[in-house]
Amino acid sequence: MLVPRGIRSRLQHLSQPTNHCRTFAASSEVGFTKAQTQLNALKKTPDNEAKLRMYALFKQATDGSCSKPKPAADDFIQTAKWDAWNGLGSMPKTDAKQEYINIVNALALAELHDNMSAVDAGEEMTNFQYLIYEVEGKAAKITLNRPNTKNSLNRELYFEVPAAFKKASEDPNITLVVLTGAGEYFSSGTDLNNLAHIPSRQQLKETCELGGSILQKYMESFIDFPKPLIAAVNGPAMGLAVTTLALCDVVYASDKATFMTPFTVLGLGPEGCSSHLFPKIMGYAKANEVLLFGKKLSAQEAKDCGLVTEVFPNRSFDEEVRHRVAQYSELPPQSMRSTKGIVRGWEKDLLKKVNKQECDNLVEFWQGKEFLEAAIKFVSKKK
């Protein structure tokens, strides 16, 4: 893959980490390991220039300065690798690790830009990696499938969930959709392991702005979804996984489910239109307790304040939900779509304005001192 113009130019300047990068030096080993995993997960192969630079940085970060003899001149590949490594001179291992992380972030940013362009162009996603899309009768079931990470939302899921919604909305045989999680958790919200890839200052602003755009489009997929959307909260939910429930039409919860939005703990603010919908649903007093102070709600408390429709015992949760979904999916589809449009349609434009404002605020929060300090603490705990 050719590194896009702009990304390539940044690669040439990343060899001198900024003071911002040095702030995270204590966590560089975690970030270095995570960056290797992230690199392997990229769908497009980096070009030869980026490959050589990353090879050299990896050797410098793990073995130190090059002390091996130069290969024979006719061994072009090994000579190119040796030149790249030897060219780093006495660069400290910590600096090499940080630049390696920065380059991987740049490549990931380029891939995210490509994904965003594909979404804008209306391209259909045919294969899902982190969710399961199933058809059960006239209902589509979307299952967040990262149980080892408590179904946290990684970058890919921010594209896969809207793509699954699009697939269901365009299928004339589907009358409603169920959103649930695999394993014991519904979802722990955004994958905070992404904090191990904290970018350099050069990348920070672009990363945050792109993240805001991705989140905005993710939320719009909930706002615009035309068919009945049922959330089956099979276990604990956190962060964005909680706030998006207010955009679902019916919310069923296991009695083992809990609901928590720890935004201020992370130096962040409300998301998922919760700044508007939570006060509307719960009243200002309860919404403030949940959004300002991260108050954890039990399933019954969430029902009492209007966020949850009905609570079922965990042992019979799947059966209870399945029974209701089978019954509701047989109702006249156009009537259901029309009714949803009347109930929710009048405030769709308002919700999009709220969503944009929340995303704009988050872009600022992500670059702020409070969030960066919270990020340092989180990454340090992951060491």
Asked whether residue 135 falls in the same domain as residue 168, the answer is yes
**Residue 117 covered by a domain:** no
What mean pLDDT comes out for the span 13-30?
48
Expressed as residue numbers, the domain containing 39 is 7-108
- The confidence band for 341, taking pLDDT boundaries of 50, 70 and 90, is very high
pLDDT score, position 112: 74
**DSSP state at residue 153:** B
Contact 240, 186 (CB under 8 A): no
What mean pLDDT comes out for the span 27-56?
84
pLDDT score, position 6: 36
- The confidence band for 9, taking pLDDT boundaries of 50, 70 and 90, is very low
Distances (CA, A) of 252 to 237, 245, 305: 12, 10, 14
Strand order in the sheet with 310-312: 131-136, 139-144, 176-181, 229-233, 250-254, 310-312
Is pLDDT of 12 > 50? no
Cα–Cα nearest to 336, from 230, 220, 245 = 230
Cα–Cα nearest to 139, from 28, 232, 215, 68 = 232
Asked whether residue 144 falls in the same domain as residue 277, the answer is yes
Cβ burial, residue 31 (10 Å; 0-12/13-18/19+):
buried
Asked whether residue 196 falls in the same domain as residue 299, the answer is yes
pLDDT score, position 19: 44
- The confidence band for 135, taking pLDDT boundaries of 50, 70 and 90, is very high
- The confidence band for 200, taking pLDDT boundaries of 50, 70 and 90, is low
Asked whether residue 83 falls in the same domain as residue 138, the answer is no
Asked whether residue 223 falls in the same domain as residue 77, the answer is no
Asked whether residue 60 falls in the same domain as residue 186, the answer is no
pLDDT score, position 136: 95
**What percentage of the chain has pLDDT greater than the value 70?**
86
Token code pair at residue 316 = 């019979």
| Lowest-confidence pick of 36-50, 60-74, 223-237, 282-296 | 36-50
**Residue 53 covered by a domain:** yes
Express each pLDDT in 293-322 by its tens digit: 999 999 999 999 999 999 999 999 999 999
The C-alpha atoms of residue 377 and residue 383 are separated, in whole angstroms, by: 10
Q: Which residue, 60, 83, 108, sits at the end of a domain?
A: 108
- The confidence band for 15, taking pLDDT boundaries of 50, 70 and 90, is very low
Total domains in the fold of the chain: 2
Sign of dihedral through CA atoms 279, 280, 281, 282?
Answer: positive
Asked whether residue 282 falls in the same domain as residue 344, the answer is yes
pLDDT score, position 372: 81
**Residue 82 covered by a domain:** yes
Asked whether residue 213 falls in the same domain as residue 307, the answer is yes
CATH number of domain containing 256: 3.90.226.10
Asked whether residue 310 falls in the same domain as residue 162, the answer is yes
Asked whether residue 58 falls in the same domain as residue 141, the answer is no
Q: What is the pTM of this model?
A: 0.79
Asked whether residue 286 falls in the same domain as residue 205, the answer is yes
For 225-323, where are the E strands, in sequence order?
Answer: 229-233, 237-238, 250-254, 258-260, 297-298, 310-312
CATH number of domain containing 102: 1.20.80.10
